[in-house]
């Protein structure tokens, strides 16, 4: 059991990107009819007890609903996080984000930066004006986690749980406790101001932010296998010059025969094709006779980010 007060010296930098945590609704009981990304990070922080006594910096990197997250915001966020992580006076980073694409951003940040300091993403399922607003506690917890001495890597703090960036996924559409880690399980739990770690935090070798410094990122799309699926979507993507396709298959990454045939045509034409599973938990177990490679434990959206990064690396090597 580790208490938050035994924390690393230095300041925490909060990088804000919008999301429900910064959303507002006309009525305090309305948790659905709100508009995301309306409140600036300075205003959010000023309303929280105790944070004004801590050495903090805030920066508004973007202000958007995370369903609209795009490559340009990703690049800006990576570069600002890299800048602040390199500062000796910074203990850790907090990123406020929307929940819809949080798992994709977390995965990207871990793979590209693999920071030696804590980089903590947090969000909310209720807007800031709600009587059930969960953002304030999540943000306080995230700032405290960002100060944990000796911690490193990208983690997600939501509803008192710590999730690893490589495992986290949204598991519920509206519950406050809306995130999980599949088979991997959470990294820890925050209870009554104390942090209990269950397993090690993310680590790995950083790809480096320079991998993102290209004029055009590879276009990687996700297609879904389902009853009656055809190869029409794949053929349309081929005609548009897609660079990669992640197929969200049934069960253990299995594919409708018509869709699989189209994906094999795409592979023959030089498109990178991976199989994943549309099932919420459990990754794809590799089979010796598989005709298409799989993404292992990665969800379809994580696999898409990973495939983009691998294609970017290939471009860097060729250059």
Active site residues: 20
Measured between alpha carbons, how far is 278 from 267 in angstroms, rounded to an integer?
21
At residue 160, the 3 state secondary structure works out as coil
Measured between alpha carbons, how far is 150 from 22 in angstroms, rounded to an integer?
30
**Cα 264 to Cα 172, 290, 298, distances in angstroms:** 34, 12, 21
Sign of CA dihedral 56, 60, 61, 65: positive
Q: What six digits make up the tokens of 116? A: 């030696």
Find all residues with CB under 8 Å of 267, minimum gap 6, and list them.
273, 292
Length of the chain: 319
């Amino acid at each position: 059991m580790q208490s938050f007060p035994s924390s690393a010296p230095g300041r925490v930098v909060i990088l804000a990107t919008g999301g429900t945590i910064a959303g507002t609704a006309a009525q305090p009981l309305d948790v659905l009819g709100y508009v995301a990304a309306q409140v600036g990070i300075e205003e959010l922080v000023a309303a929280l007890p105790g944070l004004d006594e801590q050495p903090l910096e805030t920066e508004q990197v973007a202000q958007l609903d995370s369903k609209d997250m795009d490559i340009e915001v990703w690049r800006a966020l990576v570069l600002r996080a890299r800048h602040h992580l390199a500062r000796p006076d910074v203990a850790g980073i907090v990123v406020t984000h929307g929940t819809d694409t949080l798992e994709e951003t977390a995965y990207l940040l871990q793979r590209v930066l693999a920071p030696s300091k804590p980089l903590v993403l947090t969000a909310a399922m209720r807007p800031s004006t709600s009587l059930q607003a969960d953002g304030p506690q999540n943000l306080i917890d995230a700032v405290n986690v960002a100060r944990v001495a000796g911690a490193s890597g990208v983690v997600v703090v939501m509803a008192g749980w710590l999730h690893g960036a490589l495992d986290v996924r949204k598991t519920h559409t509206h519950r406050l406790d809306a995130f999980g880690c599949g088979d991997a399980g959470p990294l820890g739990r925050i209870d009554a101001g104390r942090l209990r770690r269950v397993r090690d935090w993310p680590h790995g070798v950083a790809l480096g932010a320079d991998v993102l410094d290209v004029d055009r990122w590879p276009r990687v799309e996700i297609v879904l296998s389902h009853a009656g699926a055809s190869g029409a979507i794949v053929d349309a993507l081929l005609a548009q010059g897609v660079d990669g396709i992640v197929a969200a298959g049934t069960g253990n990454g299995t594919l409708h025969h018509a869709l699989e045939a189209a994906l094999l045509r795409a592979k023959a034409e030089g498109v990178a094709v991976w199989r994943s599973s549309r099932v919420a938990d459990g990754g794809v177990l590799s089979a010796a006779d598989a005709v298409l490679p799989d993404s292992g434990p990665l969800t379809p959206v994580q696999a898409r980010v990973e495939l983009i990064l691998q294609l970017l690396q290939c471009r860097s090597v060729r250059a």
